[in-house]
A and B are shown apart, each in its own frame.
Chain A
Amino acid sequence: MTKYVIRRLLQAIPIFLCATLLSYLLMALAPGGPVEILAFNNRMKPREREELKYILGINDPLPVQYLRWLLGDDWMRWDNDGDGLADSAVFFIDLYAPKLNDSGKPLIDDSSGEMITRSLPPGTQRGILRGDFGNSFYYKRSAMEVLVERLPATLELGLTSFVVGITLGLAVGILSAVYHGRLFDQLSRIGAVIVNSIPNFGLGLLLLLFFGSLLKVLPLGGRCKTLLDPSCVPLPERLEYLILPTIVLAAGAVAGYSRFMRASMLDVVSQDYIRTARSKGLQERRIWLRHGMRNAFIPIATFLGPSITFLLSGSAVTEQVFSWPGVGRLAVNSVIRRDYPVIMIVVIYAAIATILGYLMSDILYGIIDPRIRYD
């Protein structure tokens, strides 16, 4: 198993790199490009702007820019003698830039007709692989810090709705299989389809209107009372904030899991060994629980991958509806603010969550089903 996990992790590396390349290319397509936006400042003079372009390497070819974003540029151009100016650089990086006049045009030496050059400062970026996503334009501090602050909220909501969703979903699924074709089965199936048809945010907003605005029994969104203080009181003291978002997120999970569990359970109980168990005279209850349920759990493991991803990366829509200060909401707000460093870190984080989700689901598959051997 350890061997398998290591192999899977190694396989994940190229996929991860492709995901970073894809997201970098998308960002490079943005109007003005990623670094142009970084240099955007109204008070900046044309000369300063052009100088910054040379320092940030905007004129470099795209592969070099991607490499710089990925691995940083402190190893590309560095300072040996400590005078604040770089004196060594790798072969594909310029050590000198032209001197500029006030309108940002290169200065030309009248006698020789060549450009006058000057040394550039050493590179300071450390690259995303070393956790340097740059500073958030909006929060004016490290994008990594901004993301890490949002993680507890997302994990809290994700874990709660995952536990509630899977427990209720499996229970409903098993019961509909046991009472196959009866009223409970029909109602739960109809309920599942209807829940899946209502837009998630519509359901959330209707619940907010009803319980928060009309009955005034539950808070109108948020994670705890004081929004100014980033640290919340311990979870048991603010459960009322968690109820509605959990209902919305769990509803979809219950609908999905119950239908899947029902199908899986019905598939299992039509097999020969269940008939054998019946003919041995085992109790119905024992047949369903010991022989049926345990085997019906196996296909559910395929569902776990997406669920784990969802748990880690959060739901943009539900977090937005309930003003839940999580990762998904951060992603949406950052797009609206065009806060590219934060958008990039959230997308990369979501990619890691996806890769981990599928890996964990495959490992669980092996644990639940002893017939599967990975080695």
Chain B
Amino acid sequence: MTNTDIAKLKPKEKALVSQSLTRKALLSIWRDKLTLVALSFILLLTAIAVMAPFITDVIMRVDPNEPNTADIFTPPLTKGYILGADDIGRDHLARLLHASGVSMGIGFFGALFSLINGLVLGMISGYFGRIADDLLNWIVTTLVSIPGLFLLILIASVLSFNAQSLIITVGLIGWTGTYRLIRGQTFSIRSTDYVLAAKALGASPWRIIFQHILPNLISVTVVSLALDIAGLILAESALSYLGLGVQPPQATWGNMLTKSFQYFRHGPHLIIFPILLISVTVLCFYIIGDGIRDAFDPTLQR
């Protein structure tokens, strides 16, 4: 039965057609309006962030790092500043747009990098066990024995972060959570009957990993990616607050928000927009994560 055939069926008959878990999950996300709204917000924001240089250069014709002493603390919607100007007269909207790219970029690529590390190492550890498992567990126990922020602080004392080095650092130290999750899942999938059957048919370990184990890990992986991005966006802002994050003049949501609190009397608008952007973005990632988890949870199928 093709997809168009299914679409033609009446609702009651539709329920009788057996569907794959992924299809069911996608359908349930489609019905979950909250997750859809969050997803659209993130996609829109990502598109804007990617096009930020184009928007500021061509459409708005402003330089986000160009100070203009005459316009210090201009409130929003005056003198052609849509979101006002900051403490040295830079366009707030232009800076926010550029900062979105950096903050979301750190969140996304940092989470992706640590996710890939966690996924690959977790599958190796869970599938092959023995020495690989012992060695990786030993590394993880060591990494986890120093709290994440303290480890970041220690690394910040050795090198000062920019966007790239921050992404690499969180990628190298932030994979332990995903690793444990994936390792446990791989471990349980490895002992299922269909993996045994595949082994009996003579499938190579790589075939088993890519054909039978990886597809079953997709939902866990996507959920953990969404939550990791949220966590990293918050971590970037916290590091910036401590003065150990990405350094100005490069704008990030974190260092814009941090600086804005020094001028709360002159420019309250400088606080409101960054804190809203951070909170709403993080909230959306939480909602997406929860939505995907529910969608793939077979016990919650309607």
Interface of A toward B, CB cutoff 8 Å: 15-16, 18-19, 22-23, 26-27, 29-31, 193-194, 196-202, 205-206, 209, 309-310, 313, 316-317, 320-321, 331-332, 334-336, 338, 340, 343, 346-347, 350-351, 353-355
Q: Is the CB of B156 within 8 A of A354?
A: no
Q: Is the CB of A19 within 8 A of B146?
A: yes
Cβ contact within 8 Å between B243 and A336: yes
Chain A, Cβ-Cβ closest to B290: A193
Q: Are A199 and B257 in contact (CB under 8 A)?
A: yes
Residue from A193, A202, A354 in contact with B146 in the complex, judged by beta carbons closer than 8 Å: A354
Check A15–B158 contact: CB distance below 8 A. no
Chain A residues with CB below 8 A from B254, complex form = 199
Inter-subunit contact B157/A22 (CB<8 Å) = no
Shortest beta-carbon distance from B225 to chain A in Å: 17
Tell me which of B66-74, B78-86, B214-222, B276-284 binds A.
B276-284
28 contacts across the A-B interface (CB closer than 8 A): A15-B145, A19-B146, A22-B146, A26-B154, A26-B158, A27-B157, A193-B287, A194-B283, A197-B278, A197-B279, A197-B280, A198-B278, A201-B258, A202-B237, A202-B275, A209-B264, A317-B238, A317-B241, A320-B242, A332-B243, A332-B244, A334-B157, A335-B153, A336-B244, A343-B157, A347-B150, A350-B150, A354-B144
- Consensus secondary structure, chain B interface: helix
B residues in contact with A193, CB < 8 Å: 283, 286-287
Residues on the B chain within 8 Å of A336, using CB: 243-244
Please name the residue on chain B nearest to A344 by beta carbon. B154
Q: In the complex the two chains form, is A18's CB within 8 Å of B145's CB?
A: yes
Q: Which residues of B contact A29 (CB under 8 A)?
A: 158
Complex Cα distance, B237 from A132, in Å, reads 35
B149 within 8 A of A: yes
Contacts of B144 in A (CB 8 A): 354
Contacts A18-B142, A205-B261 hold; do A27 and B286 have CB atoms under 8 A apart? no
Q: Choose among B142, B151, B155, B279 the residue that contacts A199 (Cβ–Cβ < 8 A).
A: B279
Asked if A26 and B242 make an inter-chain contact with CB atoms under 8 angstroms apart, the answer reads no
Most A-side CB within 10 Å, residue of B149, B155, B280: B149
Q: Mark B249-269, 1 if CB is under 8 A from A, else 0.
A: 000001001100100100000
Whether the pair A332, B242 counts as a contact (CB closer than 8 A) is yes
- Asked if B204 CB lies within 8 Å of chain A CBs, one says no
- Alpha-carbon distance A355/B146, docked complex (angstroms): 9
Looking across the interface, which residue of chain B has its beta carbon closest to that of A201?
B241
Bound CA span A84–B242, Å: 46
Is B275 a contact of A199 with CB atoms below 8 Å? yes
- Contacts A199-B237, A199-B275; A313 near B145 (Cβ below 8 A): no
> Which chain B residue lies CB-closest to A353?
B147
Note all chain B residues with C-beta closer than 8 A to A346: 150
Name the residue among B143, B242, B257 with the largest chain A CB count within 10 angstroms: B242
Question: How extensive is the interface on chain B, given as a class?
Answer: 35 or more
- Interface mask (B6-37 → A, CB under 8 Å = 1, otherwise 0): 00000000000000000000000000000000
B141 at the interface (CB under 8 A from A): yes
> Mask for B154-167, Cβ within 8 A of A = 1, else 0?
11111000000000
Most central of A199, A343, A350 by chain B CB within 10 Å? A199
Q: Closest approach, in angstroms, between the C-beta of B41 and any C-beta of chain A? A: 13
CA distance A18 to B279 in the complex (A): 37
Within 8 Å by CB of B158, from A27, A202, A209, lies A27
Q: Tell me the complex Cα distance, A196–B138, Å.
A: 31
How far is the CB of B150 from the nearest CB of chain A, in Å?
4
Taking a contact as CB atoms under 8 Å apart, the answer to whether B237 and A351 are in contact is: no
How many angstroms between the C-alpha atoms of A206 and B145 in the bound complex?
Answer: 33
**Assuming the A-B contacts A197-B279, A313-B150, are A355 and B158 also in contact, with contact meaning beta carbons closer than 8 angstroms in the complex?**
no
Asked if B234 is an interface residue, CB under 8 A from chain A, the answer is: yes
Check if B145 sits within 8 Å of A19, measured CB to CB.
yes
Q: In the bound complex, do residue A199 and residue B158 qualify as a contact, i.e. CB atoms below 8 Å apart?
A: no
Q: Closest approach, in angstroms, between the C-beta of B231 and any C-beta of chain A? A: 10
Bound together, the chains give a CA A314 to CA B78 distance in angstroms of 44
* Contact status B147-A313, CB under 8 Å: yes
Please, which residue of chain A has its CB at the minimum distance from the CB of B278? A199
- Which residue from chain A places its CB closest to the CB of B287 in the assembled complex? A193
* Contact, CB under 8 Å: A316 / B153: yes
Which chain A residue has the least Cβ–Cβ distance from B239? A317
The 4 A-B pairs with the shortest beta carbon distances in the complex, nearest first, are A18-B142, A197-B283, A197-B282, A335-B157
